[in-house]
Chain A
Amino acid sequence: MNELVTPRAHTADEPRAARKGLRVLAVEALGPLTVLGGIVWAFAQPYRVTFFYPDGKGFWDWAVQPPLLVVLVGLLFAFLVAPGLIEDLDRTSGESGDAASG
C-alpha cells in the first residue's frame, strides 16, 4: 500500500469523526455562549443588574436579576448537562467505530 491509497475504513471514518467533532464543539459552546450573552447584556443594560444600582431596591430586585439569570443558566448547562453528553457522544462513536471495524 502506498501513500496514494488509503484503507476504505479510514475514508469512511473521516467525515464521521469531523461530524462528531462539530457536535462536541457545538455542545461545549452552548453554555459559554449563553454566559457570554448574559455578560454582554449586563454591560449593555447595567440598570437591569441591581448590584450596579442598589438604591431603593427590594428583595425580588436582588433575587432576580435577568442578565445574571442568563449567566446562571449557561453555567448550569455547561457544568451539569454538557460534560455527560460529550462523554456519551464519545462512547457512542467509539462503539459504532468498533462495530464497523469488527
Chain B
Amino acid sequence: MKDEQLRNNVHHATDVIQAKRARVVSEMPDWQQLREAGKQIRQHTMQYLDVYLQQFETNCTRAGGVVHWAKDAAEARTIVLHLVKASGSNEVIKIKSMTTEEIALNPALEEQGIHPYETDLAELIIQLGHDRPSHIVVPALHKNRQQIREIFQREMHLADLGDRPEDLADAARLFLREKFLRVKTGISGANFLIAETGGVCIVESEGNGRMCLTLPDTLIAIAGIDKILPRFQDLEVMLQLLPRSATGERMNPYNSIWTGIHPGDGPKNFHVILMDNARTEILADSESRQTLNCIRCAACQNACPVYRQTGGHAYGSVYAGPIGAILTPQLQQMHHAQSLPYASSLCGACYEVCPVKINIPEVLIHLRNKVVEQNTAGLAGAFDMEALAMKTMAAIFQDEHRFRAAQRLGRMAETLLPSTNGWITWLPGILGGWTQARDLERMPKQTFRDWWEKRETNDR
C-alpha cells in the first residue's frame, strides 16, 4: 500500500483495460446469453471432466502428440525437465503461461542449467526485472514505460534506448528474434484443450506465441486439467468471451490451434502435460467447483476495487485478484493463504464482469467458512478470540431479551470511551482498524424498538 508509483500504475492500467472492455461488451446485444452459454459449457465440462480428458488424450495421441499426466507441480516439473533434456537443448523459449508460474518452472529449469527465455513482452520485462507477475493477463501491469526502459537499458546493455513505445518494442524484437531462430525447444501453456480434436488452443496479441509454436523442433505444452473444452465448436463462445473480457479486443490478433505433428511443418515432437495439482480436490467440493470454470481473462482483477488499490503482489500468490483469492487457497489445500478469502469487500464487481459467471463472492464466503472451521477446531480453537466474539453475538441474537440487554450494555460500555462532541475517534484492540481513518458517532439514547414500544403504549 505504500508504493504510490505501483498503485498509480495499477490504477491507470486497470482503468484503461476496463474502459476498453466496457466498450466492446456494450456492442454485444447477446452478451448475457453468451455469458450463460460460457457458464453452461464450463459447468458441463467439469461434470464430465474424466470423459473429456480421456477423449483429449486419445485424439491428441492419434494426431501424433504425446500426453503425460502429472499429479502435482513436482511431477510436472520432472516431466518437463526430462523432456527438455531429451530434446538436447539447454535453452527453451517460452510462451506466456500462468501454469508454468504456478509450478515455478523457471527456477527449476535454471537449477538444471537450462535457460528459459520468456518471449511474451510483459513476461520478458518481468524476467529481466527479476520480478513476479502481478496480473494474469498483463503480468507487468505494475510497471510503467519509464521503469521498463530502465530494465531494458540495464539488462540488454542499451544505454541509449529511447522511451517511446516503438523504441521499447524494437529492443524486445531484436532481443527475441535471435532466440526464436536459435532455440529449438519451446514451452507453452494452453488456453483451451479441445477434447474432440486433441488440439491445444493458444490466443495471444503479439505473435511471439506463434513463433514458439512453429519454430522449435520440440514443443511442450503444460496445462491444468481444467483447461478442457468438449468440442471445437465451443470455441465459438469462448473466443468471443475471452478477448473482450481480457484485453477489450473483439478477437485476439493471434489464435493458434496446435494438433499433433505434421511432417515438414512445425515441431517434430509435441508433448502435452495434463496437470492436476489440487484441481480434482476443488472438483470434489460442489460449493467451490465453479472456481475451475475460470478461463483466466482477469476481468475480475481489473474490476476489483481491492486489487486496484493493492496490485497483484500483495496477494502473495501467483494468481492475484478475486480469482486468485478463491483459487490460491484451494490449490494449496487451504493450508496457507488463510487471509485471502477475506481480501474482499464482497462488492460483487468480479461476478458482474465474469464471462463464465463464476459467483466469486459466494465461493469466498464458502472458503471463509472453511477457514473458520479450521480455526475453531480442537482445543486451540476454543480460545479463538474472533470465534468467541462471533458465538457470543450469535447467542445474543437468538433471543430478543438478550439482544435488548446487549444493546443497553453496549450503550453503557460505550460511555467509557473518550469522545468529542458526540464522536468517538479512538477504539481499542482490533476495532482500532475502524478509527484509523474514520470517526464513529455515539450510539443514540434510544433504540428503535424502545421508541416503537413507547409510541404503541402512548397510542393506547
A and B, one complex? Answer: no
